[in-house]
Structure 1
Amino acid sequence: MYHTLRPGDGRDLYDDQITRSIPPPPISPVEPDENTLLLKGIRPTRRLVSEWTRNSWRRALVLNVFPVAVVLTWCAVPFPTYDPNESPLDGIKSMMGLTGSADLNDTDAHYQSSESEKPVEINFWFFLFFYYGFYNAVALLMITKIFDLYYLNWWPVWLGGGFAYCTFWLSSLLLGVLIYLYTGLEKYNLTWVLLTFVTMNMPLLVAFIVIRLQNRNTYRRSLTPAQKIFLENELRYRVPSSYVRFLWFCVSISIVIGAFIAGEAYAYVFVTTPQAHTGIDAFVYVYSWLATIYILDTVTEYIIETRVKSYPLQFTFKLYFFMIYFIFYRNLFARLRNRKQYILIQAASSLWVCIFYPICMTRRMHKFLVYYVGVRKDYEQYKKQCGRSFFIRNLAENATMLGFICWICIIHYGPNFEVYPYFKFNEVGNEFNFDLTLKASCVIWAFELASNTITRFIYRRVFKHDISREAVKDFEAFPEMVVALIVIIIHVLQDMLMALLSLHFKGDHVVKHGLDHK
Structure 2
Amino acid sequence: MPTYFKFTQGTESRVRPNDSSPLLGRFRAVPPRDQQIAASQVNRLDVAGGRGSVHVGYGALVIAGLEGHQDDDEDDDASNEDLDGIPRLERLWQRWVVDLWVHPRQAAVKKIAEKWYTRYGLLVFLPAILTVGWCSLPFPQYPLPPGQVDQNPSDVHTKAPGHGNARVQVNFWFFIFVYYGLYSLTALIWITKVFNLYSLNWWPQSLGFPLTFTLIAVLSVTVPIPIYYYDQTRFLTVHNTSWISWTFIIMALPVTIAVLILRNNERHLGLRNSLSETQRIFTASWWTNDVDTLSRRERRRGNRSTDPFGGDDVRVSRVSRLRSFRQRWFPASFIRFIWFCVALYIGLMAYVLGEAYAEIYLRTLPHDSFETLVYVYGWVVTVHLLDALTGFVLGIREGERVGSYPLSWVFKLYFMLTYQTYVRALYARLRSPGQFIMLQIFSSTGLVVITPIMMTTVFHKILTILGLSTLSYGTYQKLQTRNVFIRFLAENASMACFLGSILVLHYGANKDVYPYFAFDDESEDYDFDRTFYLSFVTWGCELIASLVVRGLIRVIFGVDVGLEGKMDLAVWPELLPTCVVVILHVLQNMLFSIIRLQFRA
Q: Give the TM-score taking structure 2 as reference length.
A: 0.72
Identify the residue that residue 441 of structure 1 maps to in structure 2. Answer: 535
Structure 1 unaligned runs (5+)?
13-38, 88-116, 508-518
Q: Does residue 405 of structure 1 match 2:496?
A: no
Identify the residue that residue 340 of structure 2 maps to in structure 1. Answer: 249
CA distance in 2, matches of 1:41, 1:434: 37
Letter in 1 for 2:173: W
Identify the residue that residue 458 of structure 1 maps to in structure 2. Answer: 552
Identify the residue that residue 59 of structure 1 maps to in structure 2. Answer: 119
Identify the residue that residue 512 of structure 1 maps to in structure 2. Answer: none
Q: Tell me if structure 2 keeps the 8 A contact 1:43–1:483.
A: no
Displacement of 1:226 in angstroms is: 3.4
Q: Tell me if structure 1 keeps the 8 A contact 2:123–2:489.
A: yes
Identify the residue that residue 104 of structure 2 maps to in structure 1. Answer: 44
Identify the residue that residue 264 of structure 1 maps to in structure 2. Answer: 355
Q: Does residue 318 of structure 1 match 2:380?
A: no
Identify the residue that residue 289 of structure 1 maps to in structure 2. Answer: 379
CA distance in 2, matches of 1:319, 1:51: 22
Query: Which of 78, 81, 92 is 2:141 aligned to?
Result: 81
Q: Tell me if structure 2 keeps the 8 A contact 1:85–1:118.
A: no
Per-residue CA deviations over 1:323-361 (Å, capped at 9, x if unaligned) read 000000011111111111111111111111110101001
Q: Tell me if structure 1 keeps the 8 A contact 2:123–2:579.
A: yes
Displacement of 1:235 in angstroms is: 3.2
Match of 2:102, SS state, is: coil
CA distance in 1, matches of 2:365, 2:247: 29
Match of 1:322, SS state, is: helix
Equivalent residues in 2 for 1:127-142 (5 A)?
127-142=175-190
Letter in 2 for 1:198: I
Match of 1:52, SS state, is: helix
CA distance in 1, matches of 2:29, 2:365: 55
Identify the residue that residue 41 of structure 2 maps to in structure 1. Answer: none
Q: Does residue 192 of structure 1 match 2:192?
A: no
Match of 1:217, SS state, is: helix
Equivalent residues in 2 for 1:294-443 (5 A)?
294-305=384-395, 306-443=400-537
Q: Tell me if structure 2 keeps the 8 A contact 1:3–1:151.
A: yes
CA distance in 1, matches of 2:528, 2:364: 15
Identify the residue that residue 572 of structure 2 maps to in structure 1. Answer: 478
Displacement of 1:156 in angstroms is: 3.1
Displacement of 1:152 in angstroms is: 1.1
CA RMSD of aligned residues (A): 2.2
Q: Tell me if structure 1 keeps the 8 A contact 2:113–2:119.
A: yes
Match of 2:563, SS state, is: helix
Per-residue CA deviations over 1:11-30 (Å, capped at 9, x if unaligned) read 88xxxxxxxxxxxxxxxxxx
Q: Give the TM-score taking structure 1 as reference length.
A: 0.83
Q: Does residue 226 of structure 1 match 2:288?
A: yes
Q: Tell me if structure 2 keeps the 8 A contact 1:276–1:431.
A: no
CA distance in 2, matches of 1:335, 1:142: 30
Letter in 2 for 1:269: I
CA distance in 1, matches of 2:28, 2:482: 23
CA distance in 2, matches of 1:431, 1:357: 36
Q: Tell me if structure 1 keeps the 8 A contact 2:424–2:498.
A: yes
Identify the residue that residue 158 of structure 1 maps to in structure 2. Answer: 206
CA distance in 2, matches of 1:252, 1:462: 34
Letter in 1 for 2:384: Y
CA distance in 1, matches of 2:371, 2:142: 37
Match of 2:139, SS state, is: coil
CA distance in 1, matches of 2:326, 2:509: 64
Q: In the comparison of the two structures, how many residue pairs are matched?
A: 451
Letter in 2 for 1:443: V
CA distance in 1, matches of 2:522, 2:186: 37
CA distance in 1, matches of 2:246, 2:336: 28
CA distance in 1, matches of 2:259, 2:100: 22
Q: Tell me if structure 2 keeps the 8 A contact 1:79–1:126.
A: yes
Identify the residue that residue 3 of structure 1 maps to in structure 2. Answer: 26
Match of 2:268, SS state, is: coil
CA distance in 2, matches of 1:176, 1:245: 35
Displacement of 1:412 in angstroms is: 0.3
Identify the residue that residue 159 of structure 2 maps to in structure 1. Answer: none
Q: Tell me if structure 1 keeps the 8 A contact 2:100–2:576.
A: no
Displacement of 1:41 in angstroms is: 6.5
Letter in 1 for 2:240: N
Q: Tell me if structure 2 keeps the 8 A contact 1:219–1:236.
A: no
Larger radius of gyration: 2
Q: Does residue 500 of structure 1 match 2:560?
A: no
Letter in 2 for 1:350: S
Per-residue CA deviations over 1:117-168 (Å, capped at 9, x if unaligned) read 9720000000000000000000111111111111112333332212221111
CA distance in 2, matches of 1:160, 1:219: 25
Letter in 1 for 2:358: A
Displacement of 1:506 in angstroms is: 1.1
CA distance in 1, matches of 2:580, 2:405: 17
CA distance in 2, matches of 1:481, 1:252: 17
Q: Does residue 276 of structure 1 match 2:324?
A: no
Query: Which of 162, 165, 168 is 2:216 aligned to?
Result: 168
Match of 1:335, SS state, is: coil
Match of 1:122, SS state, is: strand
Report the more deviating stretch, 301-310 or 173-182: 173-182
CA distance in 1, matches of 2:350, 2:196: 21
CA distance in 1, matches of 2:100, 2:559: 35
Identify the residue that residue 100 of structure 1 maps to in structure 2. Answer: none
Match of 1:82, SS state, is: strand
Q: Tell me if structure 1 keeps the 8 A contact 2:244–2:352.
A: yes
Identity %, equivalent residues: 35
Letter in 1 for 2:415: F
CA distance in 2, matches of 1:48, 1:118: 47
Displacement of 1:295 in angstroms is: 0.6
Displacement of 1:85 in angstroms is: 4.9
CA distance in 2, matches of 1:504, 1:452: 42
Q: Tell me if structure 1 keeps the 8 A contact 2:166–2:515.
A: no
Identify the residue that residue 162 of structure 2 maps to in structure 1. Answer: none
Residues 226/351 of structure 1: CA separation in 2 closer, same or farther (3 Å cut)? closer
Equivalent residues in 2 for 1:81-100 (5 A)?
81-85=141-145
Residues 442/40 of structure 1: CA separation in 2 closer, same or farther (3 Å cut)? closer
CA distance in 2, matches of 1:151, 1:475: 17
Displacement of 1:393 in angstroms is: 0.7
